[in-house]
Homo-oligomer: A and B are copies of this chain.
Amino acid sequence: MRDAPTAKGRATRARIVEGAAGVLREQGVTFTTLDDIRARTGTSKSQLFHYFPEGKDELLLAVAQFEADRVLADQQPHLGCLDSWESWRKWRDVVVERYERQGDQCPLGSLFLQVGRSRTGARAIVAELMRQWQAQLADGMRALQAGGLVSPALDVERASAALLAGIQGGVSIMMSTGDSTHLRAALDDCIERLRASAGDRDRT
């Protein structure tokens, strides 16, 4: 049932996932029932179980994957070519803007907390997301190094890990406080350190 036989089926499945993602963002996993999803997506109970035979968990997992894909996509094209200070700045702005708009809705955090226990799949999704995210940050740092904008002595692995951690923490703090100060601080602090590790030329 992963890929439905007919086009109509595939469309319905996609509609369910997308609609479910919306409901989940608004209400949180805990307070979302299959009936809510049914109502939002204009489907019947049997459809839900037709496309997700293993029930709610399977659907939640599909939504988690859907959201995870969006996280990186939303940062493109900037995340993909972090080879100048200007591109880093733009990327930073996109990240801040995206998460501020999202506000206190945490599509992934809560999802994997719920599903994580029962299905190991959820952890894998998040872990893979983190891996790719960090890899792209590391690529960007190496691009700066290649351009002579950052010291070759910089420990790229560690710096990218720290930056990723800062983002995650910034976002999760924003979830509880509604304030993006920490996210901004983490991003700016890390980027500024990259700058400091260069010579002082090209401070744009």
Contact = CB atoms under 8 A, between A and B. Distances in A.
A8 interface: no
List of 7 A-B pairs having minimum Cβ-Cβ separation, nearest first: A169-B169, A168-B169, A161-B185, A165-B169, A162-B189, A165-B186, A126-B176
B189 A159 contact: yes
30 contacts: A27-B117, A29-B30, A30-B30, A30-B113, A30-B114, A106-B113, A110-B113, A112-B176, A113-B113, A123-B177, A126-B176, A127-B176, A127-B177, A130-B177, A130-B182, A158-B185, A158-B189, A159-B189, A161-B182, A162-B182, A162-B186, A162-B188, A164-B173, A165-B185, A166-B186, A168-B170, A169-B169, A169-B172, A193-B193, A196-B196
Contacts of A161: 181-182, 185-186
A169 B176 contact: no
A9 interface: no
Contact of A116 (B126, B168, B176, B182): B176
Total identical chains: 2
A26 to B, nearest CB: 10
Nearest to A106: B113
A62 interface: no
Interface residues of A, number: 44
A150 interface: no
Interface string A105-139: 01001101110110000010011001000000000
B158 A169 contact: no
A189 to B, nearest CB: 4
A167 interface: yes
Contacts of A167: 165, 169
A165 B184 CA distance: 10
Given A113-B30, A170-B169, A162 B190 contact: yes
